[in-house]
Amino acid sequence: MSRFGIPQVALILLFANCLWASQPKEFRDWPAAASPTEVGNKVAEQFVSTVNINKEGAIYPAICTWYGALTFAELSHNKELLQQLTDLFDRQFTADLKTFALDKHHVDYSVSGSVPFEIYIASKNPQYLSFGHEFADRQWESQNPDGLSQETRYWIDDMFMITILQVQAFRATAKSKYLDRAAREMVAYLDRLQQPNGLFYHSPDAPFFWGRGNGWVAAGMTELLRSLPKNHPQRLRIMTAYLAMMKSLVELQGQDGMWRQLLDHAEAWPESSSTGMFTYAMITGVKNGWLNEKVYAPAARKGWLALVGQLEPNGDIRNVCEGTGRKNDLNYYLERKRNTGDLHGQAPVLWCASALLR
């Protein structure tokens, strides 16, 4: 019993209901089969039943999905799912695969450390902290003279891959050096790649506003801003870049709630992974008071419902751009294959579900 005679469980429920009521109305009262818990469970269960990582394929799409599934399991209080995800990681990320990923010294493999950090945050098992540290510290083992990681290559994808690993290291340890690394790297990319309209070229030699590439940036800035203290010397620079990007994105969202494969080309097809990433950035921005609720909460709701509309009954998502390197060729981007069940698209659905529950 509490000191007022109210059972503790009742107090917890009352507090939870107050928090829920404080959510923007756009983040409540979902149509059938569109609640973040229902959607998150469906997508996470599909991931658990199908994920298979090895040396033969790209690791990072699974890692980014794993991270989203773990945060969703924690926020939805699904202990069974959390254990399944941990056990799967233990079985699939073998010592041999770990050595292989570390030896690559490449952002697409180094990001692997973000998952054991999240498992540590949930479990406090020190073996996962050590696992994550190997990746986070290896990334800065031989830094450039400007203080950036030698993995720096100025592709916009890196603004998530590098950021999430170092931010996760901070979240697990509270050591500010990890946040400082992520912020320094982010600002270097902003200075080089962000255009006057707030959007980003895929790389300096690929001057196209590719949807998912910009999605990686939006998600990377969002993750960093979630953890960056208000008095951090780089916060204003990063927040300014984030707000400029969100302003352009909300204007480019389609009536159907989707964003396109090339953001500023009406002939480009609506694409799911970028839609998920932008929706995640807007949900988080609204909830943290960074974005105007009246403008961005409706846009985020439209984005979420559009994503739900792309889901197959088994939890796969349609219209996901295949893996894409950079190229100075418009048709290269317009003609990219549309995949179903591609983890590039599954990951941001889980990030959105987590953000709506957070």
CATH of the domain at 47: 1.50.10.10
Find all residues with CB under 8 Å of 130, minimum gap 6, and list them. Answer: none
Res 142: pLDDT: 86
Same-domain status, 24 and 73: no
Confidence band (pLDDT; 50, 70, 90) for 229? very high
Q: What percent of the chain has pLDDT over 70?
A: 94
Q: Please give the pLDDT value at position 7.
A: 56
Give the lowest-confidence range in 13-27, 70-84, 155-169, 263-277: 13-27
Cα 277–chain centre separation? 6
Residue 16 has pLDDT above 50, yes or no: no
Do 23 and 54 fall into the same domain? Answer: no
Number of domains the chain contains: 2
- Rg of the Cα atoms in the chain: 20
Residues 24 and 109 grouped into a single domain: no
Are 213 and 157 in contact by the 8 Å Cβ rule? The answer is: yes
What number is the average pLDDT over the span 104-131? Answer: 97
85 and 56 in one domain? yes
pTM over 0.85: yes
Residue 23's pLDDT is what? 86
Note whether 67 and 137 are same-domain residues. yes
Which range marks the domain in which residue 6 is found? 1-30
Q: What is the DSSP string of 79-126?
A: HHHHHHHHHHHHHHS-HHHHHHHHHH-SHHHHGGGHHHHHHHHHH--H
Average pLDDT along the chain = 94
SS (HEC) of 140-163: CCCCCCCCCCCCCCCCCCHHHHHH
* pLDDT tops 50 at residue 2: no
Lookup: tokens for 296: 């961005």
Q: Are residues 12 and 108 in the same domain?
A: no
Indicate if 143 and 185 belong to the same structural domain. yes
Is residue 15 located within the same domain as residue 35? no
What does the pLDDT average to over 223-231? 98
Q: Are residues 105 and 175 in the same domain?
A: yes
pLDDT score at 8 = 55
Residues 20 and 49 in one domain: no
